[in-house]
Structure 1
Amino acid sequence: MHFYVATVFSEVFDNFVFQAPNLIIHQPEETLNKMNEWCVKHHTDSGLVDAVRASKISLQQAEYEMLAFVRKHTLPKICPLAGNSVHEDKKFLAKYMPQFMNHLHYRIVDVSSVKELCRRWYPGQFENAPQKKAAHRALDDIMESIDELKFYRTTIFK
């Protein structure tokens, strides 16, 4: 289950343009109790579990706010979902936020795929790629993905 959602728009995936409000989605204890050991430790240490418990934002409210934001800044079916290992996010959004997902383009930009290609094809340049901070908070992950694509574009795909 995703507890935290964030939306950022960028031009050609490398210039930050707009940021939607960060939304922490409330979850009942029964959902929190289903987390695996890694999630419990990581999300407790980061403070996310406490923030989820304290949140008053429902999944429906989060979808409404995200959809209002993307409708304000993009035309339907233009903006792809992008990020690292974004296929998992796409599954979550398709199941729990279908109206939001329906507004997006059907294609995705998976930065992890670009990373793998660069690691294999350009190992010398890849050594200097930005390192993930492993915060696993939505906005941090998005901003790291944008920085990572900037690196690949300016260093490897120049």
Structure 2
Amino acid sequence: MTGLDVLTCHILEVACLITDAHLNVLAQGPDLIINQPDHILDNMDTWCVQHHGQSGLTDACRKSKISLQDAEHSLMAFIKTYIPKGKCCIAGNSVYMDRLFLQRYMPLVDSHLHYRIVDVSTIKELC
């Protein structure tokens, strides 16, 4: 993401793993880097400029031919192959923010997921 403000920031990359209840990976989905125009990338917050610049993600977004809509449809096709509507929650580290961005920018994916969120960053905060 270009930052954490869901109203002004944008998705740069999406990826997905399907696991069973024991967190064994059943399927590895697409890892899609989304094209964003310069005016979006030029407005990233400081943390994103530094980290996405160092990792190469910023340049990869500039070069990508994948639109947000293409990424949503690819991700949705993958998820539907394995998960019936409303049966799978989103899980991972700090995925609450991911869910907010999915609601805004990938509503087809968001509406297919269960409403529950398993955010392991909560456990880190409690320890």
TM-score (structure 1 length as normaliser) = 0.72
Alpha-carbon distance in 2 for matches of 1:109, 1:13: 14
Alpha-carbon distance in 1 for matches of 2:21, 2:94: 18
Deviation (angstroms), 1:44: 0.7
Pick one of 1, 6, 12 that aligns with 1:3. Answer: 12
Instruction: Report sequence identity in percent.
Output: 49
Aligned AA for 2:124?
Answer: K
Structure of larger gyration radius:
1
Deviation (angstroms), 1:101: 0.5
In structure 2, the CA distance between the partners of 1:39 and 1:13, relative to structure 1 (3 Å rule), is farther
Partner of 1:48: 57
1:79 counterpart = 2:88: yes
- Provide structure 2 residue ranges, at least 5 long, that are not aligned to the other structure: 1-9
TM-score (structure 2 length as normaliser) = 0.89
SS of the residue 1:105 aligns to: coil
Deviation (angstroms), 1:19: 0.7
Pick one of 23, 35, 48 that aligns with 1:14. Answer: 23
Alpha-carbon distance in 1 for matches of 2:76, 2:28: 13
In structure 2, the CA distance between the partners of 1:7 and 1:13, relative to structure 1 (3 Å rule), is farther
Which structure's residues are more often helix, by fraction? 1
Which structure has more relative contact order (CA 8 Å, sep 6+)? It is: 1
Aligned AA for 1:40?
Answer: V
